[in-house]
A = this chain, B = another copy of it.
Amino acid sequence: MQQTLIIQEQLKIFEQYLEKSVVSEDPLISSTALHILKAGGKRVRPSFAIAAARVNGCEIEKLLPLMAALELIHTSSLIHDDVIDGSDTRRKMPTINALYGNKTAVYIGDFIVGRSFQVISYYKDLRILDSFNKTVLEMCRGELRQLADAYRIGQNIRDYFYRIQRKTALLFATSCECGACVSGASDEQIGILRRYGYYLGMAFQITDDILDMVSEESVLGKPVGSDLRQGNLSLPVIYSLQNSYWKEKLGQFILNSKEDPAEIEKIIAMVNQAGGLDYAEEIAERFIKKAMLEIDKLPESDAVNVLKGVASHLAKRKY
């Protein structure tokens, strides 16, 4: 696939730009921010921005600030999440709070938020600024709702969708929307690509939440069942709490389990037996199909095929 090779090359160029974007005269900031950026990550959001922009043809240089802003805002949310969750490792590396303490981590997160706004303002484009800014606000709302919903056994699937829309899908939507904007796409194209990003973002988060229950610690880079340990009830769990024969018992187990690995394992087994994991997979696939339907509205091209490839890859991902 020539096209995906090009994107990989472009991501290498991006990597250098991203690192430069956080360098500050302050060595503490530079080294801390570089630590988390160099720890890697899949650069999913910048890749979506490239893929969406390529539909209309777009030079990488024009996209770099957008890509950096997307990765920075994502990174800052991870930094604050790690403080909130008291996580010691991420991507198999020590977190900023583990290395430098919570206080430094909160302010480094704030610094990176500020930098992301600075980088995105390069475009002087109100649609881009507005989409980015609204998404940042919705991400906070999603995180706040997640805190409020922790261990709330009575919640329903709409609560879950509310959260993952904000935590994940809107930033995917913004990545594609703004990538398309930068490439000079038409309003119709921008709308299609935004919805494509949104649906795939939903599928991505649902898959993430399934993997959190069925993958292995060595692959995840964090313990299996992290969500359950934090009382974060994901789609398979909510489905099972509503449909399992032992729903009352499951609820009690979740409320009492907290951090015990053996209990977490038992809960995952119950969720699996209740069909929660299968159900969540089905829903993820439905979102992928919706994304595909959007893409089908665009005239066929190599770039459009890449977008389809990304969607079908997402359907099968195991990490």
Q: Indicate whether A263 reaches chain B with its CB closer than 8 angstroms.
A: no
Chain A, 237-259, CB within 8 A of any chain B CB:
none
Interface digits, A98-130 against B, CB 8 Å rule (1 contact, 0 not)?
000111101111110111011001001010011
Residues of B within 8 A of A24 (CB): 137, 141
Stretch at the interface among A143-151, A216-224, A276-284: A143-151
Is the beta-carbon distance between A28 and B140 smaller than 8 angstroms? no
Q: Indicate whether A29 reaches chain B with its CB closer than 8 angstroms.
A: yes
Is the beta-carbon distance between B133 and A126 smaller than 8 angstroms? no
Is the beta-carbon distance between A107 and B147 smaller than 8 angstroms? yes
Q: Indicate whether A300 reaches chain B with its CB closer than 8 angstroms.
A: no
Q: Indicate whether A72 reaches chain B with its CB closer than 8 angstroms.
A: no
Q: Indicate whether A54 reaches chain B with its CB closer than 8 angstroms.
A: no
Are A140 and B110 also in contact (CB < 8 A) when A121-B133, A124-B126, A134-B118 are? yes
Q: Which residue of B lies closest to A143 (CB)?
A: B107
Is the beta-carbon distance between A121 and B126 smaller than 8 angstroms? yes
Is the beta-carbon distance between B140 and A118 smaller than 8 angstroms? no
| Distance of A96 from chain B, by nearest CB (Å) | 12
| Distance of A64 from chain B, by nearest CB (Å) | 18
* Interchain CA distance A145-B114 in the complex, whole Å: 17
Q: Which residue of B lies closest to A121 (CB)?
A: B129
Is the beta-carbon distance between A104 and B137 smaller than 8 angstroms? no
Are A136 and B114 also in contact (CB < 8 A) when A28-B148, A121-B129, A141-B26 are? yes
Residues of B within 8 A of A137 (CB): 24, 111, 114-115, 118
Is the beta-carbon distance between A133 and B117 smaller than 8 angstroms? yes
Residues of B within 8 A of A80 (CB): 106-107, 110
Which of B133, B144, B145 is A108 in contact with, Cβ under 8 Å? B144
Residues of B within 8 A of A133 (CB): 114, 117-118, 121
Interface digits, A129-169 against B, CB 8 Å rule (1 contact, 0 not)?
11001101100110111011000000000000000000000
24 contacts between A and B (CB under 8 A): A24-B137, A24-B141, A26-B141, A84-B102, A84-B103, A84-B107, A103-B147, A104-B144, A107-B144, A108-B144, A109-B110, A110-B110, A110-B113, A110-B143, A111-B137, A111-B141, A113-B113, A114-B133, A114-B136, A114-B137, A117-B133, A118-B133, A121-B129, A124-B126
The 4 closest A-B pairs by CB, nearest first: A111-B140, A114-B136, A114-B137, A84-B103
User: Which A residues are within 8 Å of any B CB, using their own CB?
Assistant: 24, 26, 28-29, 80, 83-84, 101-104, 106-111, 113-115, 117-118, 121, 124, 126, 129-130, 133-134, 136-137, 140-141, 143-145, 147-148
